[in-house]
Chains A and B, each alone.
Chain A
Amino acid sequence: MEQAPPDLERQWQPAPLEPLGHTDAGLQAAVGEEAEGSRDEVPGDGTMTENNFGLKKIEISVSEAEKRTGRNAMNMQETYTAYLIETRSVEHTDGQSVLTDSLWRRYSEFELLRNYLLVYYPHIVVPPLPEKRAEFVWHKLSADNMDPDFVERRRIGLENFLLRVASHPILCRDKIFYLFLTQEGNWKETVNETGFQLKADSRLKALNATFRVKNPDKRFTELKHYSDELQSVISHLLRVRARVADRLYGVYKVHGNYGRVFSEWSAIEKEMGDGLQSAGHHMDVYASSIDDILEDEEHYADQLKEYLFYAEALRAVCRKHELMQYDLEMAAQDLASKKQQCEELATGTVRTFSLKGMTTKLFGQETPEQREARIKVLEEQINEGEQQLKSKNLEGREFVKNAWADIERFKEQKNHDLKEALISYAVMQISMCKKGIQVWTNAKECFSKM
């Protein structure tokens, strides 16, 4: 990927990145300087001028996976896989890379990092992690988390996650992320010390807001709808694809039986024998070719899965907006009711039902002093409320602006990545067809010699 021409016709792509295309050494995540360049294009994002942590161009790779045993929180023995993360800084002058950091992390630590990012950057579409458990498997694929193929695909997925975060103009600057890459010991404690878990919105609150919010930004409602549909369609696609893979496997493997029977048949034939025998060999080749073909296709499935999980991230941003909007609406409502109360007290008219009104009826009117005191309290509260409302409004607008900017960036990325995925899928199919033609042509030639 090369830099796009700096005009309005292309939105800036954050960094040269081909996340799931490469399996080995890490890719260049141009952080720091490159991301600075993008500042011009992403409108009005105030956080961009903050200092990064002096990150030069770095390369990140998740190069190895290792089985470990240890003791878990309940002091029981468990087996888990640890992944080696290597960070290299690239010298500008000669392009050489120097290993600066290397440490081991397990999946749960990645989860912790992501959860932290979700709390502190609610306006960002946070890149998803590869799946925790193998889903959408077709029967030959193992659902076991310890299976080497699964571990390998997870390794790639984790590397992809880190690269996406590192190439995000905002997320790459986060200190916790930096420490994740550089500080092996004590990182968990550092994260927990930020107290992010406390700041997290409760699911219940969020659900409540979703149902009760009156005036969310239309774009977010549409986006939420879109992400729901996207999730549903990609899930469906992955399920059917797994079934297709299963069936295709069956077709190819049954052809292997031809190999054996042709061989047996050729034993009783004179002139036909050789042709049959060699054709049978080609049938065996055909049958065994399906394993590689389907392994490659898993790659495509992984690319789709990433965007399946991205849909959830999109929804999270929408939820946050709804929560903030609901908060705002509640605050406004509260303020309005307080103002009304104040007015009623001042003018002496009771328009609304209130406890005070009841007790007044029951126990007698309150004294003017009492009334004055209450009005004063209310006026203070109203002031406070107005301040809060103002700041909430500002917050809300900021959020919408920033979130929408990141969503636009995400859309571009999604379109690009999925197009690439479709192209590589088509290329895989073409290769499969060509192999099929080759094998059957060879077999035909053998038959012709019968």
Chain B
Amino acid sequence: MSGGPPKGLPSTGPHSLLDMPHPLAGSSSEEAVGGDSTPSPDLLMARSFGDKDLILPNGGTPAGTSSPASSSSLLNRLQLDDDIDGETRDLFVTVDDPKKHVCTMETYITYRITTKSTRVEFDLPEYSVRRRYQDFDWLRNKLEESQPTHLIPPLPEKFVVKGVVDRFSEEFVETRRKALDKFLKRITDHPVLSFNEHFNVFLTAKDLNAYKRQGMALLSRVGESVKHVTGGYKLRSRPLEFAAIGDYLDTFALKLGTIDRIAQRIIKEEIEYLVELREYGPVYSTWSALEGELAEPLEGVSACIGNCSTALEELTDDMTEDFLPVLREYILYSDSMKSVLKKRDQVQAEYEAKLEAVALRKEDRPKVPADVEKCQDRMECFNADLKADMERWQSNKRQDFRQLLMGMADKNIQYYEKCLMAWESIIPLLQEKPEAKLAPIWGNEETTWCLFTTTVIGGQPGSQPRYFREDFFVLHPIAKHNIFSVRTSHFLIFFFFNCPDAFKKSVRQEEM
């Protein structure tokens, strides 16, 4: 894993949750969260908080706005959330422990979701449930429906081409787990989304499917959320900041796409390089088998190239598992963000159209009708939510990419360091001169035969000095005629018969 989890996204914190202050404690705004543990969309009320910037209608929120908090409390939360050290967090979610389930109909993977929270919305301080990808997908759809003014984080890709990628391979499952973990943590971090009812159920319910079925019935009531805004309204003029965001996202997605292609190309080239290296190293081994004095240096080079190959394989694996998925995720993210922007445009267009319609009718002039006001509200809410989310997104993006790219640099540095170490360690081996060190293991002055051993070719670099048969004969020409050697897998054992004293003496001298 490159680096740890992104900064600011805690796993289970070490502090006791009860010690942590509630994020909104001490704020001038009133408690924005509803007291009920399972708020339904209808009950969520926007309150006026005396905030200067936003004036909300004195009526209730139109059904479907679903913001449990007004924009002002949102701003407050943003400020508090800038304390990245985790002290103010009261919700911790982790995804881990993937398990394979084999049923008659299908085989699938579930992940364990562990939740720890002091929030009142949670009945228990801790939950542990099992969810599969389908459930995450459902959650995301629900969030999009119920929080249409917010940017919902992306999920890893749903479909994998069967046969190309093994859905049950360790690497694939781990990559997916990390992405799902990231997804939940991003929601956890979000001051609005993290309080979403569906999110809560996702984290806590024993039987999610029952809840899902129930949810289907409510579909009609959730009704004309902004998602189903009547299309066809022409936008007069887009506020500059949203136009800028749109342009930015377009270019951003484009550049990311290019980077993704480059990264894939690099990995492909590296794999092809690896294939050649895996053929290159063993040729030195083959050569080594032909040689005497050169055998060890050549074998050393072969081993060295093998080590470099392994290091390269680790690099390509890391890049594939850690780098590419994050890039893809951000591309998906910016795609989903653009569709939210479009929705915003639609809301604005609707408002403008209604306003125009009113201006044309003469009767209601002094008073702005309620539904036009509702439209205006909707639009302004949307703008505020979106703006806040964009800022949050920008700051997260900056951190995420800093970490991602530093991680990429790190992996490359580690690769080169491994190779460097391998090559540096064989230099002494290559420079080594065969020395005349023998270890007599049996025999003395009186005996007429001695036994010597020495390690042979193929010994590990850096261990005992070794040398070869021809060298022995060159170095001890007296030995030439009275000796025979037996080669075992690690040693060359010399049996010397009729050992002349001069020879024995010379050997003793050398070993000293």
Residues of A with C-beta under 8 A to B412: 436, 440
- Chain B residues 394-421 with CB under 8 Å of chain A are 398, 401-402, 405-406, 409-410, 412-413, 415-417, 419-420
Question: Distance (Å) between the CB of B461 and the closest chain A CB?
Answer: 12
Question: Distance (Å) between the CB of A54 and the closest chain B CB?
Answer: 35
A8→B478 CA distance, assembly (Å): 12
Q: Is A9 an interface residue (CB 8 A)?
A: yes
Name which residue of chain B comes closest to A8, CB basis: B477
Question: Distance (Å) between the CB of A400 and the closest chain B CB?
Answer: 19
Q: Mark B295-308, 1 if CB is under 8 A from A, else 0.
A: 00110010010000
Stretch from B219-227, B271-279, B495-503 contacting the other chain: B271-279
Question: A234 near B413 (CB under 8 angstroms)?
Answer: no
Question: A268 near B252 (CB under 8 angstroms)?
Answer: yes
Question: A226 near B290 (CB under 8 angstroms)?
Answer: yes
A430→B415 CA distance, assembly (Å): 13
Residues of A with C-beta under 8 A to B199: none
Name which residue of chain A comes closest to B270, CB basis: A251
Residues of A with C-beta under 8 A to B419: 429, 433
Question: A237 near B474 (CB under 8 angstroms)?
Answer: no
Residues of A with C-beta under 8 A to B270: 251
Question: A441 near B413 (CB under 8 angstroms)?
Answer: yes
A241→B259 CA distance, assembly (Å): 30
Stretch from A100-108, A113-121, A254-262, A341-349 contacting the other chain: A254-262
Q: Is A336 an interface residue (CB 8 A)?
A: no
Residues of A with C-beta under 8 A to B401: 272, 450
Q: Is B286 an interface residue (CB 8 A)?
A: yes
Question: B283 near A450 (CB under 8 angstroms)?
Answer: no
Question: B283 near A233 (CB under 8 angstroms)?
Answer: yes
Given contacts A441-B413, A444-B413, A450-B401, contact A237 B424 (CB under 8 A): no
Q: Is B126 an interface residue (CB 8 A)?
A: no
Name which residue of chain B comes closest to A418, CB basis: B294
Interface residues of A, dominant DSSP: helix
Residues of B with C-beta under 8 A to A272: 398, 401-402
- Chain B residues 248-282 with CB under 8 Å of chain A are 248, 251-252, 255, 258-259, 262, 265-266, 269-270, 272-273, 276-277, 279-280
- Chain A residues 58-81 with CB under 8 Å of chain B are none
Question: A434 near B420 (CB under 8 angstroms)?
Answer: yes
Name which residue of chain B comes closest to A238, CB basis: B283
Question: A247 near B286 (CB under 8 angstroms)?
Answer: no
Question: Distance (Å) between the CB of A153 and the closest chain B CB?
Answer: 22
A450→B423 CA distance, assembly (Å): 34
Q: Is B284 an interface residue (CB 8 A)?
A: yes
Question: A450 near B262 (CB under 8 angstroms)?
Answer: no
Within 8 Å by CB of B287, from A234, A429, A433, lies A234
Stretch from B102-110, B331-339, B426-434 contacting the other chain: B426-434
Within 8 Å by CB of B398, from A250, A254, A450, lies A450
A393→B33 CA distance, assembly (Å): 112
Q: Is A244 an interface residue (CB 8 A)?
A: yes
Q: Is A230 an interface residue (CB 8 A)?
A: yes
Question: A248 near B287 (CB under 8 angstroms)?
Answer: no
Residues of A with C-beta under 8 A to B252: 265, 268
Q: Mark A423-445, 1 if CB is under 8 A from B, else 0.
A: 10111011001101100110110
Residues of B with C-beta under 8 A to A437: 413, 416-417, 420
Question: B406 near A250 (CB under 8 angstroms)?
Answer: no
Question: A447 near B409 (CB under 8 angstroms)?
Answer: yes
Question: Distance (Å) between the CB of B479 and the closest chain A CB?
Answer: 12
Q: How many interface residues does chain B have, given as a range?
A: 35 or more
- Chain B residues 456-512 with CB under 8 Å of chain A are 474-475, 477
Question: Distance (Å) between the CB of B163 and the closest chain A CB?
Answer: 28
Residues of B with C-beta under 8 A to A254: 262, 265-266, 269
Question: Distance (Å) between the CB of B420 and the closest chain A CB?
Answer: 4
Residues of A with C-beta under 8 A to B78: none
Q: Is A279 an interface residue (CB 8 A)?
A: yes
Given contacts A261-B259, A444-B413, A450-B405, contact A244 B273 (CB under 8 A): yes
A248→B430 CA distance, assembly (Å): 25
Given contacts A250-B272, A423-B427, contact A436 B416 (CB under 8 A): yes
Name which residue of chain B comes closest to A257, CB basis: B262
A236→B287 CA distance, assembly (Å): 10
Question: A261 near B262 (CB under 8 angstroms)?
Answer: yes
Given contacts A250-B269, A433-B423, A441-B413, contact A240 B283 (CB under 8 A): yes
A437→B417 CA distance, assembly (Å): 7
- Chain A residues 390-440 with CB under 8 Å of chain B are 415, 418-419, 422-423, 425-427, 429-430, 433-434, 436-437, 440
Question: Distance (Å) between the CB of A243 and the closest chain B CB?
Answer: 5
Within 8 Å by CB of B406, from A236, A237, A444, lies A444
Name which residue of chain B comes closest to A250, CB basis: B269
Name which residue of chain A comes closest to B436, CB basis: A9
- Chain B residues 155-203 with CB under 8 Å of chain A are none
A434→B419 CA distance, assembly (Å): 10
Residues of A with C-beta under 8 A to B424: 430
Question: Distance (Å) between the CB of A445 and the closest chain B CB?
Answer: 9
Given contacts A254-B266, A261-B262, A418-B294, contact A244 B413 (CB under 8 A): no
Question: Distance (Å) between the CB of B345 and the closest chain A CB?
Answer: 21
Q: Is B293 an interface residue (CB 8 A)?
A: yes
Name which residue of chain B comes closest to A256, CB basis: B262
Question: B255 near A261 (CB under 8 angstroms)?
Answer: yes
Q: Which of B251, B259, B294, B409 has the most CB atoms of chain A within a 10 A radius of its CB?
A: B409
Given contacts A226-B290, A240-B283, contact A251 B413 (CB under 8 A): no
Given contacts A264-B255, A440-B416, contact A423 B430 (CB under 8 A): yes
Question: B276 near A244 (CB under 8 angstroms)?
Answer: yes
Question: Distance (Å) between the CB of A423 and the closest chain B CB?
Answer: 5
Residues of A with C-beta under 8 A to B427: 423, 426-427, 430
Given contacts A244-B277, A254-B265, contact A8 B474 (CB under 8 A): yes
Contacts A/B (CB < 8 Å), 30 sampled: A8-B475, A9-B436, A9-B474, A9-B475, A230-B290, A233-B286, A233-B290, A236-B286, A240-B276, A247-B273, A248-B273, A251-B270, A255-B266, A261-B255, A261-B258, A268-B248, A268-B255, A415-B293, A415-B294, A422-B297, A423-B427, A423-B430, A423-B431, A426-B304, A426-B427, A429-B423, A440-B409, A440-B416, A444-B409, A448-B406
Binding site for B on A (CB under 8 A): 8-9, 11, 226, 229-230, 233-234, 236-237, 240-241, 243-244, 246-248, 250-251, 254-255, 257-258, 261, 264-265, 268, 271-272, 275, 279, 415, 418-419, 422-423, 425-427, 429-430, 433-434, 436-437, 440-441, 443-444, 447-448, 450
Given contacts A234-B287, A236-B283, A237-B280, could you give 19 more A-B pairs where the C-beta distance is less than 8 Å? A226-B290, A233-B290, A244-B277, A251-B266, A251-B270, A254-B269, A257-B258, A265-B251, A422-B297, A426-B426, A426-B430, A427-B427, A429-B419, A436-B412, A441-B409, A444-B410, A447-B402, A447-B405, A448-B402
